[in-house]
Structure formats: C-alpha cells, structure tokens
C-alpha cells in the first residue's frame, strides 16, 4: 500500500497537464443514499462548491444532508457542513492533496420522548487525496470531528466520471468511525451514495 502511494506520487510528478478545471468552477451536486450498514434508510445531499477567489487554490463548499427522505425536505433531521479547503496544486495530477477546516452542524427536529438526539455544532478538519486521469477523477477525504466526549472520523472516497463538460456522475462510499473516549465505546457505520454534479460556469 505504501509502495503504491509513493508510485502514484512519483508518477504524478511526470505528468504535467492543464490546470484542474474544477478548481475554478462553481458546482452544484445532488446525491442519494440509502444503503446503510444495518438497513435501508434514505438520505439525500445537496452540495454547493465554489472557488473563494478567481483562480485560487482555495475552495469553499457547503453540504446539506437530509435524513429520512429521497426528496431533500426532511421534517426530522439535517446536517449542514460548510468547509473551506486549500489545494496544494493547481494542475491535474494522478495524486494531489488538499486540507480544509469547517464545521458540522447537526440539526435534529424530532419531538419524541424516546429520542435523545439534540442539535449541536462540531469543528471539522478535512485532509484529502485527489487525482485526475482523462474523464475519471477521484477524491478520498478524511474528515475528523471533535465532540465533547469523543471523536469521529469519516472517510468518503468518491469516484467521478465526467459525462460531458458540464456534468459528472459520481459514486461515494462513506465509512464512519465514532468513538466515545471515556468508556471506550466504538461504532462503525457505512453508506453508499450515487449522485450528479453540474458545473455552474
């Protein structure tokens, strides 16, 4: 695995290509997921992403996740995740990196005496690998979130297929690892999402 990583890094140095076009574009994406680790439960995401300054390596994005629906409007729960990322390159390569900070706001609207869920906001740090090759690109972000009683990590590998200049089809797998520090409780969960991203310029 380590050898493969360094091979990609080495190869990327020899592939000089054009600027990463998506860095300068604004995009809007929607995706649907329901294949949870335990049972099928619908979730949908709307994501908007744009460069902070024209031709810069800074991008900002905001994702709104709705729970319990395939139609984006939920009466029960949302996650709102704004994120600012710095890209360590401007050119397309087999492997490049980005790092970002943001927050994860959990908005819980359920009124049920059996529910212990509460709304809150947690800081988030993102480290991501990216790569491009012809019509295919990928990204593998690792998000770390801090809570008052522990931490959570989520890895969100996404494979993108460029359908045309404007549209990209993607599949994303998400694996969550939640850890409560004090009583060493851990939980894994996973989801799969399919979506479409559209460039806005």
Partner 1 sequence: MKTYLKFLLFGLAIALFSCGKVPTSVPNQPISHFVGDFENGTVSGFRYLLIDTTKNTQIVNNPVRKGKYALKNILHPDDFVNNGYRTELAIYNSANYKSEVYYSFSFWVDSNYLDTTYNLVCQWQDLPYYLQGEDWTPSPTLHGSAPPISLTYVNNTIELKMNDNPSSSNQTFLVGEPLKIKKGKWYDVVAHIYWSDDKTAYQEISINGKSITPFNGLDYKYYHRNLFNRAGNYFKFGQYRGKNKTEHTNIIYFDEVKIGSTLNEVAL
Would you call 3 helix, strand, or coil by DSSP? Answer: helix
Task: By CB under 8 A, tell whether 153 contacts partner 1.
Answer: no
- Which residues make beta-bridge pairs with 180? 150, 185
Task: By CB under 8 A, tell whether 82 contacts partner 1.
Answer: no
Tell me the number of residues near partner 1 by CB under 8 A: 46
Identify which of residues 48 and 147 has a Cβ nearer to partner 1 in the complex.
147
User: CB neighbours of 95 closer than 8 A, spacing ≥ 6?
Assistant: 5, 8, 9, 11, 12, 129, 130, 131
User: CB neighbours of 163 closer than 8 A, spacing ≥ 6?
Assistant: 169
Among 20, 43, 64, 92, indicate the residue that binds partner 1 (CB under 8 A). 43
Task: By CB under 8 A, tell whether 194 contacts partner 1.
Answer: no
Cα separation of 127 and 44, whole Å? 23
Q: How far is the CB of 78 from partner 1 (least distance, A)?
A: 8
Among 18, 55, 113, 164, indicate the residue that binds partner 1 (CB under 8 A). 113
Both tokens of 134, joined, read: 């012809």
Positions in the binding site for partner 1 (CB under 8 A) = 34, 38-43, 65, 67-71, 76-77, 79, 103, 106, 108, 110, 112-123, 146-152, 178-180, 183, 185, 187, 189
């Amino acid at each position: 695995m380590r050898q493969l990583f360094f091979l990609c890094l080495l190869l990327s140095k020899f592939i000089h290509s054009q600027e990463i076009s998506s860095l300068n574009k604004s995009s809007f994406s929607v995706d649907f997921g329901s294949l949870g680790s335990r049972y099928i439960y619908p979730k949908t995401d709307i994501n908007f992403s744009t460069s902070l300054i024209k031709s810069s390596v800074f991008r900002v994005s905001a994702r709104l996740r709705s729970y319990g629906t395939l139609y984006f409007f939920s009466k029960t729960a949302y996650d709102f995740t704004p994120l600012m990322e710095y890209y360590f390159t401007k050119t397309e390569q087999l492997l490049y990196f980005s790092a970002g900070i943001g927050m994860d706001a959990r908005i819980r609207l359920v009124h049920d005496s059996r529910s212990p869920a509460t709304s809150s906001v947690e800081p988030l740090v993102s480290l991501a690998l990216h790569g491009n090759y012809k019509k295919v690109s990928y990204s593998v972000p690792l998000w770390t979130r801090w809570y008052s009683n522990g931490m959570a990590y989520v890895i969100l590998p996404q494979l993108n297929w460029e359908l045309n200049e404007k549209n990209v089809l993607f599949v994303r797998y998400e694996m969550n690892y939640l850890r409560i520090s004090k009583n060493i409780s851990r939980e894994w969960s996973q989801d799969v999402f399919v979506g479409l991203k559209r460039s806005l310029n």
